[in-house]
Each structure stands twice: as structure tokens, then as C-alpha cells.
Structure 1
């Protein structure tokens, strides 16, 4: 029983941190621009493909693996800049339905591009050699790659918290999120802040794709499952709240892990029961946010 509990804990934390790595950019862009980016999973998928193309199937070391993930972040961040200039910038003062339609179209476009470049075959990328084995913890064997994903998710959360609450850049972004007109009258370049927020959101998606590419088989549809959980976490945590999303991702990961271990015959029903409970109990989320917090 102890070994099962240890497995559920670490597997749940790893899943939760994987969800957070994907959800971080999603909640970031909503907190600043108030846009639900339906194409977020597609750009996560492109980040994974970039990492696969640059790093190959067998990463040389954990440092080269991290470097490739940063390259994927930079590449998808650049795509974010183009997307902002060509699409999102034109939708900032229109009804949010247009943004949903536009980002849905972007999702389909990205999947089509991925299929035309990499095809529809499945690819497998191995973890770096330093974390490609397991250790015994409490009678259960835990992959070091699992611990690496947990650590990466925590470091990402801490970095975002520091940026948003301890730097002038974060204060400026929160000011623009809360009242862009007033921020503009105070001399803040609102357009530049919004553009940076989009680029950062896309870069986070690309980084997540690079880090999580060994987590499952790579295909044009790899982002679908991750982004579903990411949207759940953003809703449960509170739209635009990084802290809320982090807590929600941990809860989702633990519930999914317990469901798979103790109630495998019911599939993933526990996740949806949890979502329904929070929608009734906390419809505004655990940490309702006025902007990204």
C-alpha cells in the first residue's frame, strides 16, 4: 500500500507539473489580453516537433536537452510575434467570439503545417541519459525523468511568480491587464506590453513542448490531451491566475493518478467529477484574478 501511495504521489505530481508547463502560457495570455487561445495546444505541438528536429531522438545530455527546449521556446516565441502581428493584434478591440474563431482556425492551420512537414507518423524521443533510469522510493520505482519534470514545473512556477510580483516588468503587465487605458495615459507602451505577453505565452508553450516531448509519442495531435487538462486547470484555478493554475494542476494530476491506480476501470471519470464539483462550488476558480496573479 505504501509503494502504491508513493507511486500515486510522484506520478500525480509529474502529471500536474506537465499540465502546468502547458497551462502557464495559456493563463498568462488570458490574464493580460483576456483571450482564450484555442491554438495553444497546437503551438505546444510545434514546440515538440522543433525539439525533435533540432535534438533528435537521443539527447546527448540533460544540458543539451534543456538547450533544445530553449531553442523550441525561442522558435515558437517568434511564431507568437508573427501571430500577434497578423492575427491577435487585429482582434483586441472586437468581440471575444472572433478571437475564439481565429485561434480555432490557427489550431487547424498549425496541425496542417505539421502534417505537411513531418507527416502523420508517430515519433519517439528518449529522455536524456542522466534521467533515463529509475530509483527506488518507498518500495516504488520512480523515473528520474519524472522528477525532472516535477522540478522543471516548480522552477517555471517560481520564475513566473518572481517576474509577476517582484519585477517592474511584472507590475507594468499587471497594470496593463487591469486598466490598459490608464496605463497608456501614464506613459506605458501598451501595444508593446501586449505583444511581449503574447510572445512570452507562445515561448512557454514551445518550452513545454521541448521538455515534455519524451513524455508520449509525438504526432500532430499530441497537444490535444495536454491542452484539455490545461483548460481545466485554468478554469479550476481561476482565469488568469498563475497561482490558481499551479494549484489546480497539482490537484488534477493527483486525481488522475489516483483514478488510474485505484479506479482504472472507470477511465478518467474522476477528473470530470472534480471539474463539475469546482464549477458548482467555486465557479470563479480557486483564486479569481483581476489580471495575472
Structure 2
């Protein structure tokens, strides 16, 4: 009976934090640069593949600490890729119509998929969950995998850290100022192009970090780039287009509703994510948190 009521809530929260971790870098880049980065999923995938290669090379029996460190290294490597992408792709797109940025980032997604196929091939790969994160906690008839609990805690920690940086630090206030009025920030002495470059690097770092952290939960293939893209854009839109708090709330609401809907209507799993998204946009087309970037 406990699993009937709390099981879908637990599964929904797990999926929500997976989607949120995937969407954080996407939200950050859009919130400041106003570029919808379709290539985000591609660099999430590259981060996962890099983490896989590091696991196979240095730590076949991965401890939890090694798993986290490998994810951070993968994030740093993807972040460096973001520096190149910002200079060659994002910077020329800042003063052109948004349609061009959509086309360019979609082309970048195709390039990233092609690069993965060229380097790692088209075979399917997977890694074992670190031993300390294996197993499950059992409460009555409710079974909660330890890895899922870890991801839920990690997602909440990530949100709390980002919220604290944005609301209570000078860096966060600067980010919000540049997002709100880059021209005025430049007049006050902020090197806006350099600031944009750092934001892109951080956004790509978060994509690569998420790819590494979610690696034990994924089967690696060149199709991985598109697994969470629709959900990520859904929570980005429902949350309020570029607002971290809105993205976090939208992830929880949409994924928990979808989890309960999939239990009640098991013949159409996943459809309630889009039903809930459509309903929320009809009720609040401006998003859950409107008018505030980041």
C-alpha cells in the first residue's frame, strides 16, 4: 500500500532531478545569453562518453569518490569545448535573428553526434553503479534504490547551491545584472563578452558534469543526446524561460504528475508529462515564475 501512494512520488522526484540536472546548464545559458542551445544534449552525451572512457581507463571498479571526480573532470573537458563553441558559434549569433541561433545549435548537435560515432562508434556501452550507491532501502513494500536517493539529494543540493550563488553572492548579482541589461553592465565596466564566455563555459561544464553523474543510469549510444532534450525544454518553458527556480519547480511538478499518471494509465506511459505541460501553459503562458531571468 505504501508503494502504491509513495512509489510514484519517489520515482517522479528521481526523474525530476535527472531532468533538472540535465537542464541547469541550458537554463543558465538561455537566462543570460538568450540562446536556445539545441546542442546542449550533444555535450551532455559527450560528457557521459568522456566519463565512460575515464572509468574504463583509470577505475574499472569505481568508488563513489572516483565516480564524482571523474564526472567533474568530464565536466571540465566539456567546459573547455564550450569555450571554443562560444568563440566560434555563440559570439557571432548574439546580434542576429534567433532563428539563426536555432539552426546553428541544431547543426552543432548533429556535429556532436557525428563526433561521438567517429570516436566511440555506434555500439552500446554501460557502467556499473558504484558499490556504495548500489542496493536499495526498503520501507514496507516501498523499494528505493540508493542511486536514485543519491541523485535526488544531488539535484536538491545543486539547486540550493545555484540559488544561493544567484541570490546571496556578488557573482550572482552580477549575473542577474548582465542578464537584465548587458548594455548598462558594459557601461559600468563589466567586460560583457568575457562574462558571456564564462557563462557558456559554466553551462557546458554543467552539461558534461550531468552526463558523468547520470552515467550509471544510462545506456550509452549516439542517440543519448535526445533522451532528455524534450523534457528539458518543457521544464525550461513551463518554469519561466531562463529561471533556475522555475526550472526546478517545473521539473518536480511535471515529472511527479507524469509518474502518477503513468501508474493510473499504464497503457500510455509518459504522455502525462506533455498533458501537464500543456495545461500549465494554458493556465500560466508566462511560466511559473515570469519576468525574472535566473
Query: TM-score by structure 2 length?
Result: 0.96
Matched, 1:32 2:40: no
Q: 1:276 to 1:125 in 2, by over 3 A?
A: same
Contact in 2 for aligned 1:77/1:202 (Cα 8 Å): yes
Matched, 1:130 2:135: no
Equivalence for 2:148: 146
Equivalence for 2:227: 225
For 1:36 and 1:17, locate their aligned partners in 2 and report how far apart those are by CA, in whole Å.
21
One of 114, 117, 124 as aligned partner of 2:119: 117
| Alignment map for 1:64-79 (pairs within 5 Å) | 64-79=66-81
Matched, 1:183 2:185: yes
For 1:128 and 1:289, locate their aligned partners in 2 and report how far apart those are by CA, in whole Å.
42
Farther-moved stretch of structure 1 (15-24 vs 119-128): 119-128
How far residue 244 of structure 1 moved from its aligned partner, in angstroms, is: 0.4
Corresponding residue SS for 2:267 = helix
How far residue 66 of structure 1 moved from its aligned partner, in angstroms, is: 0.4
How far residue 59 of structure 1 moved from its aligned partner, in angstroms, is: 4.5
Equivalence for 1:8: 8
One of 59, 62, 65 as aligned partner of 1:60: 62
| Alignment map for 1:1-293 (pairs within 5 Å) | 1-56=1-56, 58-292=60-294
Gaps of 5+ in 2: none
What is the total number of aligned residue pairs between the two structures?
Answer: 292
Over the aligned positions, Cα root-mean-square deviation in angstroms equals: 1.2
Contact in 2 for aligned 1:20/1:230 (Cα 8 Å): yes
Cα shift readout 1:183-213 (whole Å, capped 9, x = no counterpart): 0111111111111111111111001100111
Cα shift readout 1:131-181 (whole Å, capped 9, x = no counterpart): 111110242111000001001101111111111111111111111111111
Contact in 2 for aligned 1:31/1:291 (Cα 8 Å): yes
Q: 1:34 to 1:115 in 2, by over 3 A?
A: same
Contact in 2 for aligned 1:73/1:202 (Cα 8 Å): yes
For 2:86 and 2:129, locate their aligned partners in 1 and report how far apart those are by CA, in whole Å.
33
Moved over 4 A (4+): none
How far residue 251 of structure 1 moved from its aligned partner, in angstroms, is: 1.3
For 2:229 and 2:153, locate their aligned partners in 1 and report how far apart those are by CA, in whole Å.
20
Contact in 1 for aligned 2:262/2:272 (Cα 8 Å): no
